[in-house]
A and B are shown apart, each in its own frame.
Chain A
Amino acid sequence: MTMVQLFFGVALVLILILFFLRNIAASHLLVFSFMVLLGLLSVDQYQHLSEYRMDLFDADSIGVIFLFLLTIISSFAALHYAIYAFRRLQDKRVIAMHNAAFVLFVTAIAGAFMSTHIGMLWACLEASTLSGAALIYHDRDKLALEATWKYLFVSSIGVTLGFAGIMFLSIAANNTPNDIADLIAVAPDMNVGWTKTSFIFILAGFSVKMGVVPFFTIDIDAKDSSPSPIGAMFSGPLMSVGFLAIYRFYQIFAHTSILPWMNHLLLVTGLLSLFFATVFILKTQNYKRMLAYSSMEHAGLILIAFSTGLNGYIVAIVHLVLHALAKSGMFFEIGQVHRTFNSKNDTDCGDYFRLRPMSSAVILTGLLCIIAMPPSGLFMTEFMLFKSLMISGQWWIVFIVMFLLCFFVYAMIRNFFTLLFLKNPQAQIAEKVAGWESIPPLLLIVLVIWFGIASPDILLQLVLQAVQVLPGASTLTYY
């Protein structure tokens, strides 16, 4: 039995047990042991990177990077959820439901990262939608219900449109079996009209997962209404799944003549996402929604980086990884702010620095990271993004992006400084949150800074290997 089979088998059994288990401590413990298994799976996939061992599930380099990312973020999310549930004295049934759905969600995402067949990729994406809905519905109130319904419905429609895209790809590929490697091999003979139709459907459909234009609104609502550990999962691993789904098709179509057209489409999508995120963040007063719009901004930047072609591929993937780490750290911290003031609106929060200096310091560092100030790793990638835009001669886009980013940085700094430093007589302290709870988010944010300073070879090597399948990438180096 291979590790992959073991993983899925254990996951299946675990989901069933967790669903019926009413002992909370045991339930959390099982989730943690599942995280250990996920870590082992990631290591196993990394060690056997170049061998092909199984049909349907076998991670390539980009899959391995995202598997490690998933392991890190979901372990922290499980930890924070355990604290959250313990402090809020949550109903046992709610916790059981959440933990079962969480394991299913993580399994579906891991499956999507490993799948070598686009039908399987689709099935995993749909499974992540369904389990994600159960996670959003955690609080069982009216807002959660509204967010869940919208997420479930629009996401289902989106993923169904994605399936239509897969069908159009089948037409283009003359019914070659939908294995990604096989499809790449027949790509040069594909019909241009069908490949374009397919890519439009895929990009529109899977935008629900990545949180970019056109279906971004439900993603924002979902991150806002769910508990903050789930917001972190949606901003990190789920966004990577959306990116990976689009990337798999990009991989195939990059070997056809529509490559420049695809890059234009990605550029337009990225710019529009950046624009809408900027417009909306200026008026929101809710910290979780601000972080959600910031994720959308970064998703837009990732697509823009990717659209610049050879120079941008590595930048885009590294940016995605670093953003996921920084953003989940911020979500965990905002979860603590939410517990402290029992509100996530800036009208009910304030003077946080005096209340919890440790947590505030983490928020401040995280803020600097996500607005891409040095020494954040995101500064490096955004700098490289501008460089690759300039190399490809798109000066006017550099100006547009910088212009929009100015508003973005302004909005983020204004709102978070209000939270940290401004006295607010309406702020009521609902709960005293312990200082040590800020250590896990701090670790994530320090990781981002460390990436910025040290640029570890292992990550860059893996990214470089991952993009090798794209045409012309064999000339790339990461320095």
Chain B
Amino acid sequence: MISLLIITFVVTLIYLSTAERMQSFNMLIAAQGILLFVITYIELKDLDTWHLALILLETLVIKVLVLPYFIYRLLIRKHNGSVTPLVPGFLSLIVVSIIIFLSFLVSYSLHDDQIQVKYFTCAIAAIFTGLYLIIVHKQIFTHMMGYLTIENGIFLLSLAIGNEMPLTVNLAVLLDVFSSVLILGIFVNRLESFSSLDVDQLKDLKDS
């Protein structure tokens, strides 16, 4: 079951690399949220109630419901367009496949008892796919999607390690992640009032 979910997660990464409509990005991130929710639920059933509730709140409520809705209201409804990457989708597909392949190679060559290889592979692949998305896209919207992908990767990484933090710390981390995305969204909205949502517009700050 877990393997199936993990494979689906990796498939969303591949899909992200070729997606061109804003709405499909948003849906993919939400889908990743659902997958993370199911994975954590299966994995962490024997955790105490408070921790479990907090983690479920993070995945299901925030990642699946609040953020996608927020992004839809704020950005997509106004200009639901397509985003064009700098490199053709076909090439991105190859690059992301290579990233996933390398993640497999790295995590299977580690032989460390501490980590769960399945999650670790997936986490590393998600982090680097996120970074790749940020590099090949020029739109601010897609940069944000790349950031969210990295966040999901980090979430899986913490699952791979099974590290437990005190409740206060978890709560603080959760609050930070949530508000960072919220504030990013607000500023994307502001940026749009000045110019198009393209990073090429953001080059007024320079030395001379």
Could you tell me which A residues sit within 8 Å of B by CB distance? 55-56, 117, 119-120, 122-124, 126-127, 129-130, 133-134, 137, 142-143, 145-150, 152-153, 156-157, 160, 163-164, 167, 170-171, 174-175, 177-178, 191, 194, 221, 224-225, 280, 283-286, 289
Could you tell me which B residues sit within 8 Å of A by CB distance? 112, 114-115, 127, 134, 140, 143-144, 147, 150-151, 154, 157-158, 161-166, 168-170, 172-173, 175-177, 179-180, 183-184, 187-188, 190-191, 194, 202, 204-205, 207-208
Q: A117-B165, A148-B187 are in contact. List 10 more A-B contacts (CB 8 A).
A: A122-B173, A126-B177, A130-B176, A137-B187, A149-B140, A156-B184, A167-B161, A171-B115, A178-B163, A191-B112
A425–B178 Cα distance when bound, in Å, is 52
Contacts of B112 in A (CB 8 A): 171, 191, 194
Among B157, B169, B187, the residue within 8 A (CB) of A167 is: B157
The reply to whether A127 and B176 contact each other, CB–CB distance below 8 Å, is yes
A170–B157 Cα distance when bound, in Å, is 11
The reply to whether A126 and B180 contact each other, CB–CB distance below 8 Å, is yes
Contacts of B172 in A (CB 8 A): 119-120, 123-124, 127
Known: A120-B168, A157-B150. A142 touches B204 (CB 8 A): yes
A149–B187 Cα distance when bound, in Å, is 7
A280–B154 Cα distance when bound, in Å, is 34
Known: A119-B173, A149-B140. A143 touches B166 (CB 8 A): no
A150–B201 Cα distance when bound, in Å, is 12
Contacts of B179 in A (CB 8 A): 130
Contacts of B180 in A (CB 8 A): 126, 129-130, 152, 156
The reply to whether A146 and B166 contact each other, CB–CB distance below 8 Å, is no
The reply to whether B173 and A145 contact each other, CB–CB distance below 8 Å, is no
**25 chain-A/chain-B pairs, Cβ below 8 angstroms:** A56-B168, A119-B170, A120-B172, A122-B173, A123-B175, A123-B176, A126-B173, A126-B176, A130-B183, A145-B190, A146-B205, A149-B202, A164-B154, A164-B157, A171-B112, A171-B161, A174-B114, A175-B162, A177-B166, A191-B112, A283-B207, A283-B208, A284-B207, A286-B207, A289-B207
Contacts of A120 in B (CB 8 A): 168-169, 172
Contacts of A285 in B (CB 8 A): 207-208
Minimal beta-carbon separation of B102 from chain A (angstroms)? 15
Contacts of A137 in B (CB 8 A): 187
A119–B177 Cα distance when bound, in Å, is 13
Minimal beta-carbon separation of A292 from chain B (angstroms)? 10
Minimal beta-carbon separation of B183 from chain A (angstroms)? 6
Known: A120-B168, A156-B147, A174-B114. A146 touches B204 (CB 8 A): yes
By CB atoms of chain A within 10 A, which of B127, B173, B176, B177 has the most?
A: B176
Contacts of B166 in A (CB 8 A): 55-56, 117, 119, 177
- The residue on B at minimum CB distance from A149 is B187
A177–B164 Cα distance when bound, in Å, is 7
- The residue on B at minimum CB distance from A123 is B172
A146–B201 Cα distance when bound, in Å, is 9
Q: Would you list the 9 A-B pairs with minimal beta carbon distance, nearest first?
A: A123-B172, A119-B169, A126-B176, A284-B207, A170-B163, A119-B165, A221-B205, A171-B114, A146-B202
Among A145, A152, A284, the residue within 8 A (CB) of B183 is: A152
A395–B43 Cα distance when bound, in Å, is 55
By CB atoms of chain B within 10 A, which of A123, A126, A157, A225 has the most?
A: A123
The reply to whether A284 and B147 contact each other, CB–CB distance below 8 Å, is no
Minimal beta-carbon separation of B152 from chain A (angstroms)? 11
A119–B184 Cα distance when bound, in Å, is 22
Minimal beta-carbon separation of A173 from chain B (angstroms)? 9
The reply to whether A160 and B151 contact each other, CB–CB distance below 8 Å, is yes
A142–B115 Cα distance when bound, in Å, is 46
Contacts of A122 in B (CB 8 A): 173
- The residue on B at minimum CB distance from A217 is B205
Minimal beta-carbon separation of B114 from chain A (angstroms)? 5
Minimal beta-carbon separation of B178 from chain A (angstroms)? 10
Contacts of B190 in A (CB 8 A): 145
Minimal beta-carbon separation of B59 from chain A (angstroms)? 17
Contacts of A142 in B (CB 8 A): 194, 204
The reply to whether A175 and B176 contact each other, CB–CB distance below 8 Å, is no
By CB atoms of chain B within 10 A, which of A143, A152, A156 has the most?
A: A156
A340–B67 Cα distance when bound, in Å, is 45
Known: A157-B150, A163-B154, A285-B208. A145 touches B194 (CB 8 A): yes
The reply to whether B184 and A153 contact each other, CB–CB distance below 8 Å, is yes
- The residue on B at minimum CB distance from A172 is B114
Among A119, A152, A174, A175, the residue within 8 A (CB) of B187 is: A152
A214–B162 Cα distance when bound, in Å, is 30
A177–B202 Cα distance when bound, in Å, is 42
Contacts of A147 in B (CB 8 A): 205
Contacts of B170 in A (CB 8 A): 119
By CB atoms of chain B within 10 A, which of A167, A174, A283 has the most?
A: A167
Contacts of B191 in A (CB 8 A): 145, 149
Minimal beta-carbon separation of A150 from chain B (angstroms)? 7
- The residue on B at minimum CB distance from A345 is B208
Known: A120-B168, A145-B187. A175 touches B204 (CB 8 A): no
A156–B205 Cα distance when bound, in Å, is 20
A427–B176 Cα distance when bound, in Å, is 45
Minimal beta-carbon separation of A275 from chain B (angstroms)? 16
Minimal beta-carbon separation of B74 from chain A (angstroms)? 15
A205–B97 Cα distance when bound, in Å, is 26
A120–B166 Cα distance when bound, in Å, is 9
Among B163, B177, B188, B205, the residue within 8 A (CB) of A175 is: B163
Minimal beta-carbon separation of A341 from chain B (angstroms)? 18
Minimal beta-carbon separation of B204 from chain A (angstroms)? 6
The reply to whether A153 and B147 contact each other, CB–CB distance below 8 Å, is yes
Minimal beta-carbon separation of A286 from chain B (angstroms)? 7
The reply to whether B163 and A167 contact each other, CB–CB distance below 8 Å, is yes
Contacts of A149 in B (CB 8 A): 140, 187-188, 191, 202
A142–B194 Cα distance when bound, in Å, is 7
The reply to whether B208 and A143 contact each other, CB–CB distance below 8 Å, is no
- The residue on A at minimum CB distance from B168 is A56
